[in-house]
Amino acid sequence: MSGVRHLYLHLPFCSSRCGYCAFVVEVGGLDRRDDYADALLSELHLEGDVLGRLDTVYLGGGTPTLMRPRRLRRLLDAIRPRLAPGAEVTAEANPETVDGRQLEALVEAGVTRISLGVQSLQPHLLSALDRAATPDQARAAVACARAAGFASVSVDLLFGVPGQDPDDLHRDLEEVVGLRPDHVSWYELELKAGSALARCGVALPDEDAAADAYRTVVVGLEGAGYHWYETANFARRGHQCRHSLAYWGAADYLGLGVGAVSTVAGRRWRNAADLHAYVAALADGRAPRRSEEALDPDTARRERWMLGLRLDRPLALGWAGPPDHPEALPRLRELGLMEGGGAHEVRLSREGRFLQNAVLGELMEYA
């Protein structure tokens, strides 16, 4: 069966909005969860013809676990007939929203991979980020997830947090390694317009400090046996996130839910970020309001370069197409930032991976 093999469901409910958050979330409104599940299933029915056998499903948010296992099971029961054998099914979770029983229920419902939003294990940094979970709740969530039987347990963390010094980062590294998750995502904090911290004018660490922190994370996790397989992602053998690999490989995907994005057959559309309008439209059997664009060949080519160079594997030029500035390739090789097989493939060197944005700036034109 042909068709789109990757599905994302956006579950927007949150108990509070973190200071750095500019995502499509709904604070409160938990009385609307059943209506929202109905709407998701209606959108799945409307758009499902584009789907083939699904290799990956990702439940993101928001805080998906606020939907509680009963509603998540209902959604996954509707998706299950579409799953390919061995499909990866990921759910995001905030540590304070789960316990052992709920995590076991997610495994029983078919979730194979849990991604826990830890962000830090230092109390003052969690406070700076307006995170609700305590370090003890994060530690307990990892232990409960392991006991529940997920095939993969992942944790998300941040560096470049205001007030984070090198000792804080080393303590987080030591604790994370001690928790032994299968997968670690460790991102640099970005303050996007619309977030509370951006509106308050909070200053992030300078570029040199952020670069030092990034290198500390990479070296520390590699030293603990994790494979640095993508710019901000690290995994033990066999635990790479297959859903994210599909994104970085520029595969087509269908996104369902308020604010969700889809890319299918050269078209990209985004559902409007209005929960009430989303639910109302689908209750009437109509597609939600959305914006849509056609991906022209140059945009698609530039995206393949931007995404493909995030990975530790070679970028096949026959797939990616030429860079905007091919004359930069020999110079970047001479500088030791790129390496690869001549006219057929390129890849960033280890040092080039630390300078990925600068390398891309030499190769590509981005508006």
3-state secondary structure (DSSP) of residue 24: coil
Report the distance separating Cα 280 and Cα 203, nearest Å: 40
Q: How far apart are CA 262 and CA 271, in angstroms?
A: 9
Per the CB < 8 A criterion, the answer to whether 134 and 126 are in contact is yes
Per-residue model confidence (pLDDT) at position 311: 97
CATH class (in words) of the domain with range 297-363:
mainly alpha
For the chain, give the longest Cα–Cα distance: 61
Q: Report the candidate in 289, 288, 281, 315 with the shortest Cα–Cα distance to residue 301.
A: 315
CA distance 133 to 104: 20
**Residue 239 corresponds to which amino acid?**
H
Compute how many other C-beta atoms are within 10 angstroms of the C-beta atom of residue 208: 8
Q: What is the pLDDT along the chain (367 residues), one digit of tens a residue?
A: 479 999 999 999 999 999 898 889 999 899 999 999 999 999 999 999 999 999 999 999 999 999 999 999 999 999 999 999 999 999 999 999 999 999 999 999 999 999 999 999 999 999 999 999 999 999 999 999 999 999 999 999 999 999 999 999 999 999 999 999 999 999 999 988 888 888 888 888 899 999 999 999 999 999 999 999 999 999 999 999 999 999 999 999 999 999 999 999 999 999 999 999 999 999 999 999 999 999 999 999 999 999 999 999 999 999 999 999 999 999 999 999 999 766 789 999 999 999 999 999 999 997 5
Q: How far apart are CA 216 and CA 299, in angstroms?
A: 34
Beta bridge partners of 26: 13
Residue 34 backbone dihedrals phi, psi, to 5 degrees? -65, -40
As a residue count, the chain comes to 367
Q: What is the pLDDT of residue 62?
A: 94
Written as one string, the DSSP assignment of 310-364 is: TBSS-EEHHHH---S-TTHHHHHHHTTSEE--TTTEEEE-HHHHHTHHHHHHHH-
* CATH for the stretch 4-248: 3.20.20.70
Half-sphere exposure of 156 (CA within 13 A, CB side): 15
Query: Which of 246, 359, 235 has the alpha carbon at shortest distance from 309?
Result: 359
Residues 6 or more apart in contact with residue 119 via CB below 8 angstroms? 125, 126, 129, 131, 156, 157, 158
pLDDT at 341: 62
pLDDT in the model for residue 181: 98
| CA distance linking residue 196 with residue 142, whole number of Å | 28
Domain definitions of the chain by residue range: 4-248, 297-363
Say how far apart CA 356 and CA 353 lie, in whole Å. 5
pLDDT at res. 192: 84
Is-contact 41 92, C-beta < 8 A? no
Close Cβ partners of 300 (under 8 Å, ≥ 6 residues apart):
250, 266
Per DSSP, what are the bridge partners of residue 4?
Answer: 51
Q: Which pair of tokens denotes residue 80? A: 């299950």
Count the Cβ atoms, other than its own, within 10 Å of residue 183. 23
| pLDDT value of position 342 | 65
pLDDT at 326: 93
Coil, helix or strand at residue 282: helix
pLDDT at position 1, please? 46
